[in-house]
Chain A
Amino acid sequence: MFDAFLTALPLVLTWPVILAMVIGTIGGISIGALPGLTATMGIAVLIPITFALDPLPALGMMAGIYQGAMYGGAIPAILLRIPGTPAAIATTLDGYPMAQKGEAAYALRVSLVSSALGGIASAIVLMLLSPPLAVFALEFGPGEYFMLAVFGLASISVLLGDNAIKGLLSACFGLFVGIVGLDPMTGHERFTFDSMHLVSGFDIIVLLTGLYAIPPALIMGEKALRKGVSGDVLRLKKTQMRLREWLKFVRIWIRASVIGIVIGIIPGAGGNVASFLSWNETKRVSKNPKAFGTGIPEGVAAAECANNGDSSSALIPAITLGVPGNAVAAVILGGLLVHGMQPGPALFRENPEIIYGFMIQMLLTAFLMFVLGRYGARIFIQVLRIPPVLLATMIVPMTVIGVYSVQNSVFDIWMCLGFGVIGYAMEKLDISVAPAVLALILGPMAESNLRRVLLIGQGDVSLIFQRPISLIILALTVLVLSYPLLRYLRQGRRRQTV
Chain B
Amino acid sequence: MMFRKLAGSLLVAAAAAVATSPALAEYPERPITMIVAFSPGGGTDVLARSFAPFIEKYLGKGASFTIINKPGAGGEVGFTAVAKSKPDGYTIGFLNLPNLLAIPIEREARFSLDSFTPLANMVDDPGAINVHVDSPFKSLKDLVTYAKENPGAVTIGTSGVGGDDHLAVLSFAKQAGIKIAHVPFPGAAPNRTALLGRHITAGAFNVSEAIQYAQEGKIRILGVMAEKRWELAPDAPTFKEQGFDVIMGSQRGMGAPAGFPEEAKNKLSEAIGKAVNDPEFQEKAKKIYLPLSFMPSDEYAAFLKQKDDQFRKMWKEEPWRK
**Minimal beta-carbon separation of B280 from chain A (angstroms):** 9
Cβ-defined contact, B33 with A456, below 8 A: no
Cβ-defined contact, A340 with B50, below 8 A: yes
Cβ-defined contact, A323 with B189, below 8 A: yes
Q: Does B314 touch A at the CB level, under 8 Å?
A: no
Cβ-defined contact, A455 with B40, below 8 A: no
Cβ-defined contact, A330 with B40, below 8 A: yes
**Minimal beta-carbon separation of B15 from chain A (angstroms):** 6
Name the B residues within 8 Å of A321 (CB-CB). Answer: 193, 196
Chain B interface residue bracket vs A: 35 or more
Name the A residues within 8 Å of B49 (CB-CB). Answer: 47, 334, 337-338
Cβ-defined contact, A401 with B15, below 8 A: yes
Cβ-defined contact, A200 with B199, below 8 A: no
Cβ-defined contact, A337 with B50, below 8 A: yes
Cβ-defined contact, B53 with A48, below 8 A: yes
Cβ-defined contact, B212 with A34, below 8 A: no
Q: Does A182 touch B at the CB level, under 8 Å?
A: yes
A196 to B3 CA separation, bound complex (whole angstroms): 37
Chain A interface residue bracket vs B: 35 or more
Q: Does B74 touch A at the CB level, under 8 Å?
A: yes
In this complex, which of B39, B40, B70 has the most chain A Cβ atoms within 10 angstroms of its Cβ?
A: B40
Q: Which one of B20-28, B61-69, B224-232, B254-262 is at the A interface?
A: B61-69
Contacting residue for B72 out of A44, A51, A184, A407, CB 8 A: A184
Name the B residues within 8 Å of A126 (CB-CB). Answer: none
Cβ-defined contact, A382 with B1, below 8 A: yes
**Minimal beta-carbon separation of B150 from chain A (angstroms):** 11
Cβ-defined contact, A30 with B7, below 8 A: yes
A181 to B4 CA separation, bound complex (whole angstroms): 35
Q: Residue-by-residue, is B169-205 near A (CB-CB < 8 Å gives 1, otherwise 0)?
A: 0000000000001111110011011101101100000
Q: Does A331 touch B at the CB level, under 8 Å?
A: yes
Name the A residues within 8 Å of B2 (CB-CB). Answer: 379, 382
**Minimal beta-carbon separation of A234 from chain B (angstroms):** 11
Q: Does B110 touch A at the CB level, under 8 Å?
A: yes
Q: Which one of A137-145, A164-172, A297-305, A487-495 is at the B interface?
A: A137-145
Q: Does B161 touch A at the CB level, under 8 Å?
A: yes
Q: Which one of A214-222, A341-349, A434-442 is at the B interface?
A: A341-349
Cβ-defined contact, B73 with A30, below 8 A: no
Cβ-defined contact, B41 with A408, below 8 A: no
In this complex, which of A140, A331, A452 has the most chain B Cβ atoms within 10 angstroms of its Cβ?
A: A452
Cβ-defined contact, B200 with A456, below 8 A: yes
A138 to B39 CA separation, bound complex (whole angstroms): 18
Name the B residues within 8 Å of A44 (CB-CB). Answer: 66-67
Contacting residue for B4 out of A184, A200, A383, CB 8 A: A383
Known contacts: A30-B7, A323-B193. The answer to whether A346 contacts B212 by CB under 8 A is: yes
Contacting residue for B216 out of A317, A338, A345, CB 8 A: A345
Q: Which residues of B contact A (CB under 8 A)?
A: 1-4, 7-8, 11-12, 15, 33, 39-41, 45-46, 49-50, 52-53, 56, 64-70, 72-74, 76-77, 80-81, 84, 103, 106-107, 110, 152-153, 155, 161-162, 181-186, 189-190, 192-194, 196-197, 199-200, 212-213, 216, 218, 284, 287-289, 321
Q: Which residues of A contact B (CB under 8 A)?
A: 30, 33-34, 44, 47-48, 51, 137-142, 181-188, 196, 199-201, 267, 317-318, 321-324, 327, 330-331, 333-334, 337-338, 340, 342-346, 376, 379-380, 382-383, 385-386, 394, 397-398, 401, 407-408, 448, 452, 455-456, 458
